[in-house]
């Protein structure tokens, strides 16, 4: 942890994420839905921490999403949430633990989580 710069915004986010990860672990029966957002894109992964494997993933950079100039980042997060829920259901995952990655549960992170819930994932 000493290599993380606590004075920058990203350093503080990483510290929050490490604090949350002490408590939130994905298992085989209930994997972890991890969210990462950059300034332009949002990424989601469903991870089995017990086996150390990613079950499925989705991102806003994929070709199958409907993107034009008027698409907001929140709408893009909604599409990614629906996509990750569909992929999880096809892999047989129904319940997950949500890892917000040190970000506030607000805006794009909240939109992704609600779209995944609407798609059939249980948190």
Q: How many domains does the chain have?
A: 1
Reported as a single tens digit per residue, the pLDDT across 13-48 is 999 998 888 888 888 889 999 999 999 999 999 999
In a domain, residue 90? The reply is: yes
**Percent of the chain having pLDDT more than 70?**
98
pTM (two decimals): 0.88
pLDDT of residue 2: 56
pLDDT of residue 66: 76
Provide the pLDDT confidence category of residue 114 given band limits of 50, 70 and 90.
very high
User: What CATH number is associated with residue 29?
Assistant: 3.30.420.100
In a domain, residue 4? The reply is: no
Give the C-alpha separation, 93 to 78, whole Å. 19
Provide long-range contacts, Cβ within 8 A and 24+ apart, for 103-106: 103/13, 103/35, 103/37
């Amino acid at each position: 942890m000493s290599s993380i710069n606590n004075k920058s915004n990203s350093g503080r986010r990483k510290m929050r994420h490490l604090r949350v990860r002490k408590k939130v672990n994905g298992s085989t029966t209930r994997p972890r839905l991890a969210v990462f957002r950059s300034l332009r894109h949002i990424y989601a992964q469903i991870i089995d921490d017990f086996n150390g494997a990613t079950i499925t993933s989705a991102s806003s950079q994929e070709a199958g999403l409907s993107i034009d100039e008027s698409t907001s980042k929140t709408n893009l997060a909604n599409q990614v949430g629906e996509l990750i829920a569909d992929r999880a259901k096809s892999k047989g995952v129904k319940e997950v633990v949500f890892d917000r990655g040190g970000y506030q549960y607000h805006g794009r992170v909240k939109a992704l989580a609600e779209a995944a819930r609407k798609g059939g994932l249980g948190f």
